[in-house]
Structure 1
Amino acid sequence: MRGHDRTPTHDDLIKNLLLQPRLFRDFCHAFLPSLADFADLNHLDYIDKEHPGSRRSPRRSGDILIKSRQHNKDVAFLIHIESQNATHPAMIERTGEYALRDSIRYRLPVLPMLLLTGSLPRNLRTPQLNWVFGKVASFRIKCPVIQFQKLNPEPLLRSRNVAALALSALTPLSPAQQVTAIVETLAESLRQKLPHDDFEAATEFVRHYLSLEDSQALQVASKVATIATNEPALAAMPKLVNPFIHAGRVQGRIEGREEGLEKGREEGLEQGLEQGRLEGTRQFALHLMLRKFPSIPKTATSLLRRLDEPQLLAFGDALITLDSPSACLAWLRQARR
């Protein structure tokens, strides 16, 4: 997360996403649309959900507690969001426990909500608790439970809902859908002009959960270039996608080193490593250019193959903003002078 050197945890990412009021409203509209019929989601107050005297160890940092109110009524209530990456036999009991603790502390009714974000057993049913002691007493807990691994990602990917697009990263996505999730999260965040913190929370989420292969990085670059060309308002998008493209470029270098090692056994390890790294970078740049400009003259391929490694890396950065085959060809000719 921002301000920390450590890698963000699962709890960090979920919390950072839902702590943005705009994204929380998007989340509710996507996954709990009936909540908007009951709650005034324009009135959200994030409050400390830890109890001063709590002996829970370690203290949970992923839970979120939000104060809202009913529509057209001066009646407040709390929403407690519990995120779990793995199932637990007593998860519904624990969710009820946390809700009761919050109610005792704040003297308000609590709506508990459970997000199951990891892999789940196929036979897992929606958990609920219903204790009945004849006519003497009963105790029931039934709360919203969102099981991301059981969701169909397609409606989320078509939703134009930024929180839904980001959280689609937790659903079972195909490689092509992973590319769509990244591109559409970025595009919709820009189209809707999200504030900086909202934008960072959404893009950090998909960047963390969707690690791209080099071929997917090429697809992301191609889709982003097309969108930026067709929608002038998204002209900045290619620069914002660089962290995802970089992953593919790194993969290309790794493959180049592997090829270099093979050649090194015959011609010398040092020379093989150098040639392999250069060839990996060259092949990646060539694929990226042909994907963006499939009709570019073959002269461009010849010019590209003459570039050294620093020039190839500079070309990879420049290609994001080049908007025509002629501009690309002019850049390559200039680089060879």
Structure 2
Amino acid sequence: MLKFWKKKPAETTSGQPAAAPTATESAPAAAIPHEADATSLDNAATTLSEALSEATPPAEAPGEESPFEVPPAEAAPAKRSWRERLSGSAFARGLSSLFIRHPKLDDDLLDELETTLITADVGVEASTMLVEDLRKRMHKREFADAGALLNALRQSLVTLLVPVQQPLKVTGHQPFVVLTVGINGVGKTTTIGKLARRYRDEGHNVMLAAGDTFRAAAVEQLKTWGARNNVPVISQGQDADSASVIYDALQAARSRSADVLIADTAGRLHTQGGLMDELGKIARVMKKLDAEAPHEVLMVIDGTTGQNAVSQVRQFRQIVGVTGLVVTKLDGTAKGGVVFALAREFGLPIRYVGLGETATDLRVFDAEAYVDGLLPANIGHG
């Protein structure tokens, strides 16, 4: 029978046992006693592997992120194209329907186009700007037909997004600290797990900090991601002080010369002042160890929330100085236009977009690929 050693309490920098709650590190494999022979070691590895793959995470509370989003450890399926992922969005469906119903090049087409853009969450200001520019060009007879107008729309949309097409480079600091923020349910913890895998595959030494102590499921979900990706996770118990957890994690990352530390945070509603105060505290505590930390404040946004995402970014940006965005769930019921609204309103870098559930579906944002994935394939540019 396997024996497992009980983990010793963490120590403070003075060498004395730390006060409860104690920060713990989740390692990819459990300790096995030295007296086990080769056969028992093989059996242990098989047992632990099966336990990891079959374990059922704790049930989630209503309105929280699902702990079941961690993909299986086996190889992910072939990556699908941007068009395959985005063609089902309301934006893509709306434009396809519009040009089929109204192929004639006139002002009525442009009026309906403006309505379609607004309905797809592009926003009133951005939609009006795009359509009025097309209207002026149409009256100058720059377009031979509706297909030419669609090509012009494509170029205008790409032009709007190119300035925010700025990939995140986790270099220049060691460790490079990524603080992730966002409300519950946007896919924040899952995004962290996917980022950990991406950076690990790029050759970086990655650590995670389970700073969402408000939800026990978030801590367990992050530990599962860590185990799957062979990435250590620093955590404490539920309701522990989030700033303390992240401070401990930054100390550990510095002592081990980690390349990247990704810290999770609580995601209670952005209208709650307590959450914003907590995020501000986390940023201040980090600066006690590194005056420039966090080096990236990455906000995760649910693409299905539409214009509400704009108000979320506005409030989080005021408190923690958001420096980059991740827009998730764009492959499902998302309208897709919120990306344009965010680019127009804030000009913040869009680092990644989520186009599915597997780790490879977290894509580095590509303005042209995104626009082409939304536009009809059979009219104009495809």
**Pair in the same fold by TM > 0.5:** no
TM-score, normalised relative to structure 1: 0.27
TM-score, normalised relative to structure 2: 0.24
The structure in which a higher percent of residues are helix is 1
